[in-house]
A = this chain, B = another copy of it.
Amino acid sequence: MNAVRFENQTLLYLDQRYLPAKEVWRECTTLHQGIQAIKELHVRGAPLIGIFACYTLCVALECFPGDKKGFFHQFDKAICSLKNSRPTAVNLAWALERVWRKARSFEQQPVSEIKHAMREESKQIHAEDALLCQKIARNGTSIVHKGACILTHCNTGFLATGGEGTALGIIYKAHRDRKKITVYVDETRPLLQGARLTAWELMKQKVPCMLITDNMAASIMRKRLIDMVIVGADRIARNGDTANKIGTYSLAVLARSHKIPFYVAAPFSTFDLSLKSGDDIPIEQRDPDEVRKAGGSIPLAPEDVPVYNPAFDITPGRLITAIITDKGVISPPYGRSIKKCLFSDV
Contacts and interface: CB of A to CB of B under 8 A. Distances in A.
Contact of A213 (B200, B291, B305): B291
Nearest to A200: B302
A215 B214 contact: yes
A302 B210 CA distance: 11
Interface residues of A, number: 53
A203 B302 contact: yes
B253 A210 contact: no
Given A187-B291, A189-B187, A249-B218, A212 B299 contact: no
A305 B199 contact: yes
A293 B323 CA distance: 34
Given A192-B301, A301-B199, A211 B306 contact: yes
A310 B20 contact: no
Contacts of A21: 299
A294 B195 CA distance: 12
A184 B307 CA distance: 9
A16 to B, nearest CB: 14
Interface in A151-182: none
A250 B212 contact: no
Contact of A294 (B20, B295, B301, B302): B295
A80 interface: no
A77 interface: no
A202 to B, nearest CB: 8
A292 B184 CA distance: 14
Interface in A285-331: 291-292, 294-295, 298-302, 304-310, 313-314
A210 B308 contact: yes
Nearest to A288: B211
B214 A301 contact: no
B300 A210 contact: no
Nearest to A202: B305
A216 B246 contact: yes
A10 interface: no
Given A20-B302, A196-B300, A298-B298, A189 B214 contact: yes
22 contacts: A20-B302, A184-B308, A187-B301, A189-B213, A189-B215, A195-B300, A199-B305, A210-B307, A212-B308, A213-B246, A213-B291, A215-B247, A216-B247, A216-B250, A216-B308, A216-B313, A218-B253, A218-B313, A219-B250, A222-B249, A257-B257, A294-B300
Interface of A: 20-21, 184, 186-190, 192, 195-196, 199-200, 203, 209-220, 222, 246-247, 249-250, 253-254, 256-257, 291-292, 294-295, 298-302, 304-310, 313-314
Given A203-B304, A211-B307, A218-B249, 7 more contacts: A21-B299, A186-B215, A203-B305, A210-B308, A211-B306, A215-B250, A257-B257
